[in-house]
Structure 1
Amino acid sequence: MSLKYQVVPVTSFSQNCSIVWCDETMEAIVVDPGGDVKQLAMLIKDLGVKVVNLVLTHGHLDHVGGTEPLARELGGVNIIGPHKDDNFWLQGLENQSQMFGFPLTKALEPDQWLNDGDTIKFGHQVLNVIHTPGHTPGHVVLFSEEAKLAFVGDVLFNGSIGRTDFPKGDFDTLIASIKGKLWPLGNDVRFVPGHGPESTFGRERASNPFVADEMPLY
C-alpha cells in the first residue's frame, strides 16, 4: 500500500490543488480545492477515488474558493482545517473574492479546525498536522512520515517562501516555522507547495536564498 497523489493547478493563480489517496482502499482527501470545481470533480471520478474530506492549509481565497461547491458536488463531505487562527480569512472570503475578481465566495466555517499534532486518516494513510504560522497565523502543513512527503501550502516554495505582507503575516514567524518545524522532518522529504514545482527540504536548505543554512545535500 502506498500514498498516491495528483496535483491540479486551479484558478488564475495556478494554485496547486492535490488529490491524495490510499492506493489500497482508494479513500482520498483533496487538499486546497481553490476553484475549477467541475474539472476537479471529473478528475476525482476518473481516478476512481472516494473523497472523505476536503482539507485546507490556510484561508486564502485561491486555496479555498472551490471548497463548498466541491463538498456539495461530492455529496456533502466534511471540510477540515486550517487552524482556527485563520478564521478571520475565511470570514472575509466575500471581500477577498471582490478584491481579486474571483466568483463570489461566501464566508466559510469548516466542520473541524486543525491543531498542531492532529492526524488526518484516509484508508491506511495518515497525515500529521503541523501548525506553521507566518504566511497566515493559522496555516498548517500536512506530512506523511511513511511517504516522506509534505503538502506545505504557501509556507515554502521551490526557491522562495510565502509572502508575509498580508494581515497578520510575519516574516520572522514564517522563518521559524520553516527552520524549526519543517527542516527537522528530514532533508529527503519531498514537498508539494501551494504554487509552482515540487522540491525537497534538503534542496531548499542548500539553495533557497531565504532559508538556506549551508547544509550539505544528502
Structure 2
Amino acid sequence: MRIIVVDDDFLVTASLKTIIESDPNIRVEGIGNNGIQAIDLFEELQPDILLIDIRMDEMNGIDAAKIILERHPEAKILFLTTFSDDVYIIQALKIGAKGYLLKQNFESIIPSLKTVYAGQRVFGDEIITKIPSLLNDASKDGFADLELSEKEHLIMTHVAEGLSNKEIADLICLGEGTVRNYISIILDKLSLRDRTQLAVFYHKRHQ
C-alpha cells in the first residue's frame, strides 16, 4: 500500500511516517505540507491513499481534495485533523472523502488506512456520532413536505451521495438488509422505481 502524508506540522508528518511504516506492508511515498503540494504529489505519485490535514497554509486540505477528486474520482482520501468542526465534517462527506479521523487517535491510523484501501469508509468514534444529525440538518430544507422519518431521510441522503447499501449500513450502524428494506419503503413512499430515480429526485429537490 502506497501512502502520501500531507500536514503543515513537520513533526506530525515525521511521526505519521514512523507510525505508518511500522507496518511492513505500507510505505509512505511522499510528504507534503500544504494543499498545493498534496495535489502535485498526488499527480506525480498516484498513491493508493492520500492522508491529509485540513487547516494548512496556501491551500487547505478540503480544497486540495476537491481538485484531486475532480481529476481522479476514484482517489481515496482520508482526512486526519485535530478539528471535529461540523462544517469540515459536512464538507468532507460531500466531496467524497473516504474517512475523517482525529489526530489524537493515532492507534487507529493503520487500521483505518487498511479499511479505506479495501474500499470502505471510516470515521472516528467522535465523528460517527455526529454524522446523522449533521447530514439531516444540512439537507432537510426542501424535504419538509415528505412523509419521511429522520432515518429514512438520512438513508435517502446517503443513496444520493452514491453510497452502497453496505457503506450506508457501516456508516449508520444498521444491517445491510435493514438498509435495503428502508430504501424499498422510501421508494414506495415517493413513488419512485429505483435508487437512480431516488438520487435524481434528491438532487432536484436539494437545488
Q: For this structure pair, what is the TM-score category when the shorter chain's length is used for normalisation?
A: 0.3 to 0.5
- Hey, which of these two has a bigger chunk of helix by percent? 2
Which has a greater percent of strand? 1
Structure 2 length as normaliser, TM-score?
Answer: 0.34
Normalized against structure 1, the TM-score is what? 0.33
Q: Which has the larger radius of gyration?
A: 2
